[in-house]
Amino acid sequence: MSENFYIAIGRQSGCGGRLVGKALADRLGIAYYDKDNIIDLVAEDCGLARQSVVELMERKTSSLLYEMATFAHTNPLEEQVFLSKNRVINALADQGSMVIVGSCGDYVLRDRERLLKVFLYGSIEQRIDRIVNVYKDTVSLSPQKLKSMDKSRADYYRFFTSYKWGDWTNYDILFNTDLGLDPVTDMLEHIAKVRFGGEA
């Protein structure tokens, strides 16, 4: 796999996307990125404090704020951060092959020829169990809260890309991580090696 290639993984909340993405990058010997390890680069690029970028990277611009900013010939902060994130991700892609989880990576890298677009999904029960018992992000999580988290992710994606998050027509392959994170990683490793010229 001498030429650079890119694997962009979108996922429902709690599907293990970061765990799959990091394991896949390690197996392929390429760089791994997600929101957490590009925040500092985005903050430096757009000149905002790190905590501000953390908040803005998860928030779409309200229609009212967007109209006000457009009238004033400026970009809302949310849009400035999104554009900065695009610059950062593309600069990282210029440096070499990578796996990127989230951050609208499939959209940001859409003009790259050697791009594999993946979406991970799973049952509500398995995702809640992973968030509570593996991530340990919270001691409890209701199905309604999980659906709200997914909706926020979908709204952000649609606002900035105009595409429907999770729509199978926007991806090369979708996996249900209820199959297990290791089996999903195994299959993605095989697909990447076949598609990008490595050993299968």
DSSP label of 37: H
Whether the pTM exceeds 0.85: the reply is yes
Using one digit for the tens of pLDDT, what is the confidence trace for 135-146?
988 878 899 999
Q: Where are the domains of the chain?
A: 7-191
Q: Is the pLDDT of residue 71 over 50?
A: no
Q: What value does the mean pLDDT of the chain take?
A: 88
Q: Is the pLDDT of residue 85 over 90?
A: yes
CATH of region 7-191, choose from 3.30.70.60, 3.40.50.300, 3.40.50.720, 3.20.20.70:
3.40.50.300
Cα separation, 43 vs 81, whole angstroms: 8
The answer to whether the CB of 153 falls within 8 A of the CB of 104 is: no
* pLDDT score of 64: 41
Q: Is the pLDDT of residue 59 over 80?
A: no
The gap from C-alpha 31 to its chain's centroid, in whole angstroms, comes to 14
Which residues are registered as beta bridge partners of 116? 7
Q: Is the pLDDT of residue 29 over 90?
A: yes
Residue 93 token pair: 């892609």
Q: Is the pLDDT of residue 70 over 50?
A: no
